[in-house]
Structure 1
Amino acid sequence: MNMTSTTFSSPAARPATRRTVDAPTRVMHWLMALSFLGAYLTADGERWRLLHVTLGYTLAGLLSFRVVWGLIGPRHARLSALGRKLQAMPQWLAGLRSGTINVRLGQNLLLSLSVVMLLALIAPLTLSGYGTYNEWAGEWLEDVHEFFGNALLAVVLAHVALIAALSLLRRKNQVTPMLTGRVEGSGPDLLKSDHYPVAALLLAAVLGFWAWQWQQAPAVGTGGTGQGATLSSGGRDAPARDGAYDGRRAPKHGERHHD
């Protein structure tokens, strides 16, 4: 009697991965991206003025967190790690002059440089926005704020284009590390821990600040505060408060209001 054997195929093993980006860095990255996008889209007019100001404060707070985390966080999240990557610039330029082009090194340098420029532009952007909101100077400060906003947008777009180009060249999604914290490949993890408690505290702090700003916003048509008030109200008779619209003049026709 012939016996027919059935072969059961085992499920394909998952590719090996290793941890490269901690959770606080990932949470900060996406909160910063969303805050800048929201702030840029709400830069014109008075209707979304309070939301624009709130997102500007959020950007400043996230930058402060990044600096602190870059000093006390894990080794691969340190600001010194970015500095070490940029130190390879003379080596790459020397190879470029001699006709020996290190493509991989050049890609890493461009990526690191774009990150440094992003972080460096947030400080003057938020400071000029705060000064504009509090009328520290004339309209020239508003122009400065607009300049840094457009400059940061240009660097953001260049950063996104670079990530997309590297994904195509390396045939590997370069966004994955900022989503999962891991990259494909064998070898030891670069981080011992994901530091999830720190990431949770950061997210809770940002959401708590947004909720507080919502509560402090003047209610539509009343000038009061309370649950249900909207950050987009900006009534002209609303009382002045930190982060809330204080009844300053509306922009003239064709004039941009950047905070």
Structure 2
Amino acid sequence: MAAEQARRVRVWDPALRAFHWLLATLVIANWLLGKFGPGVMTIHFWLGYAILALLGFRVVWGFVGPKHARFRNFLRGPRAVISYLRHLHEPRPSLWPGHNPMGALSVVAMLGVLLWQVGSGLVIDPEDFVNIGPLADLAGSDISHAAVGWHDLGATLVLVLVLLHVAIIAFYRLWKHEDLVRPMITGWKWVRRTDK
């Protein structure tokens, strides 16, 4: 990376990095348990509670965390997203500090789908008398039965978003020559020299 072009700065704080890797691990494990796990989903439920706790942390951290963790510092309007998309095809690093405008949208999409997934899991009643969500009685039978379909849809959306996430990371690495994985491990990232 040319020194006149970029500088290496600490972007991702330890709490955000731990959140990211814990969430990735739990979501993958829970998705696999949901699709291929045992008939009794006790572990699936407990991992779901852990995911809910992580999502709660991320929402709070999005308001009180360090600069690049805060929603107000990385969510951009349509104009910024379109401007960023115009240069996405260029085979050079974006050198964007924190989440780029498209990455910010993917964060919001993933958080939203995971909240949907946890919410539907809390109220689900698949009528098997075993794997009933803890809030199914409060939601009522119509909602808790409908939540089975919502939860299945959510599982598909989670898979699509995870695969898209991995594909984008590969695209940035192979086409744009920008490593997005190492910064999420170390916290350090190359950014444009004018950015702070």
TM-score band w.r.t. shorter chain: 0.7 to 0.9
Shift of 1:85: 6.7
One-letter amino acid of the structure 1 residue matched with residue 153 of structure 2: F
**How do residues 156-195 of structure 1 correspond to structure 2 at under 5 angstroms?**
156-184=162-190
| Aligned residue in 2 for 1:26 | 17
Shift of 1:178: 0.5
**How do residues 85-100 of structure 1 correspond to structure 2 at under 5 angstroms?**
88-91=80-83
Q: Within the alignment, does 1:54 sit opposite 2:39 as a pair?
A: no
Shift of 1:115: 1.5
Q: How big is the alpha-carbon RMSD for the aligned residues of Structure 1 and Structure 2?
A: 2.7
| Aligned residue in 1 for 2:150 | 144
Shift of 1:81: 1.8
SS in 2 for 1:88: helix
- Kindly indicate whether the alpha-carbon contact (under 8 Å) linking 1:18 and 1:188 is maintained by their aligned counterparts in 2: no
Q: 1:62 to 1:181 in 2, by over 3 A?
A: same
- Kindly indicate whether the alpha-carbon contact (under 8 Å) linking 2:74 and 2:100 is maintained by their aligned counterparts in 1: no
| Aligned residue in 2 for 1:38 | 29
Give the Cα separation in 2 of the matches to 1:160 and 1:25.
18
- Kindly indicate whether the alpha-carbon contact (under 8 Å) linking 1:86 and 1:113 is maintained by their aligned counterparts in 2: no
From 46, 55, 65, give the equivalent of 1:63: 55
| Aligned residue in 2 for 1:78 | 70
Deviations 1:53-76 (A, max 9, x none): 011111111111001111111111
Q: Within the alignment, does 1:114 sit opposite 2:114 as a pair?
A: no
Percent of paired sites with the same residue: 32
- Kindly indicate whether the alpha-carbon contact (under 8 Å) linking 1:18 and 1:189 is maintained by their aligned counterparts in 2: no
- Structure 2 unaligned blocks of 5 or more: 1-6, 125-132
Higher helix residue share: 2
Shift of 1:113: 1.7
Give the Cα separation in 1 of the matches to 2:73 and 2:38.
41
SS in 1 for 2:12: coil
- Higher gyration radius (CA): 1
| Aligned residue in 1 for 2:130 | none
Q: How many residues align?
A: 167
From 72, 87, 94, give the equivalent of 1:102: 87
Q: Within the alignment, does 1:155 sit opposite 2:161 as a pair?
A: yes
- Kindly indicate whether the alpha-carbon contact (under 8 Å) linking 1:125 and 1:145 is maintained by their aligned counterparts in 2: yes
| Aligned residue in 2 for 1:130 | 122
One-letter amino acid of the structure 1 residue matched with residue 87 of structure 2: N
Deviations 1:190-234 (A, max 9, x none): 5xxxxxxxxxxxxxxxxxxxxxxxxxxxxxxxxxxxxxxxxxxxx
One-letter amino acid of the structure 2 residue matched with residue 63 of structure 1: L
SS in 2 for 1:171: coil
Give the Cα separation in 1 of the matches to 2:103 and 2:68.
15
Q: 1:159 to 1:86 in 2, by over 3 A?
A: farther
Q: 1:52 to 1:87 in 2, by over 3 A?
A: farther
Give the Cα separation in 2 of the matches to 1:164 and 1:188.
26
Give the Cα separation in 2 of the matches to 1:37 and 1:179.
18
- Structure 1 unaligned blocks of 5 or more: 1-15, 94-100, 191-259
- Kindly indicate whether the alpha-carbon contact (under 8 Å) linking 1:111 and 1:162 is maintained by their aligned counterparts in 2: no
